């Protein structure tokens, strides 16, 4: 039986979130505003949490993030949580968190 497990890459997960920030018109705010940058990084860090803590963490992000980030946070829930699924992008239990093991060492 095959034992290979398909997992996402932490780098590419974060790259995708950053690209979505740009799409939502938040690139300048990310660069210039500490609050937007901080809550964006909290969102990126969701992949590092134990899987059983990510839903609660997302709810805290929804409550605390600036209102201008509402569409971005909703995208994270709709796409990454509901469509892709936590098992694909959560890297909490992985020895190598990117798809290039040479970069992980």
| Position 4 in a domain | no
Domain extent at residue 48: 10-100
| Tally of domains within the chain | 1
* pLDDT averaged per 10 residues in sequence order, the chain, 105 residues: 72 95 97 97 97 97 97 98 93 66 56
Please tell me the predicted confidence (pLDDT) of residue 5. Answer: 67
The CA-atom distances, in angstroms, between 76 and each of 2, 13, 56, 62, 95 are 31, 11, 14, 10, 24
How does DSSP classify residue 8?
Answer: -
Please tell me the predicted confidence (pLDDT) of residue 93. Answer: 73
Query: Distance (Å, rounded) from C-alpha 28 to C-alpha 26?
Result: 6
| Position 58 in a domain | yes
């Amino acid at each position: 039986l095959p034992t290979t497990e398909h997992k996402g890459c932490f780098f590419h997960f974060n790259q995708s979130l950053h690209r979505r920030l740009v799409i939502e018109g938040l690139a300048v705010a990310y660069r210039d505003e500490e609050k937007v940058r901080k809550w964006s990084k909290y969102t990126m860090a969701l992949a590092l949490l134990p899987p059983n803590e990510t839903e609660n963490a997302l709810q805290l992000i929804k409550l605390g993030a600036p209102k201008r980030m509402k569409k971005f946070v909703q995208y994270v829930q709709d796409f990454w949580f509901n469509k892709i699924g936590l098992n694909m992008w959560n890297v909490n239990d992985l020895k190598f968190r990117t798809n290039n093991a040479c970069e992980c060492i």
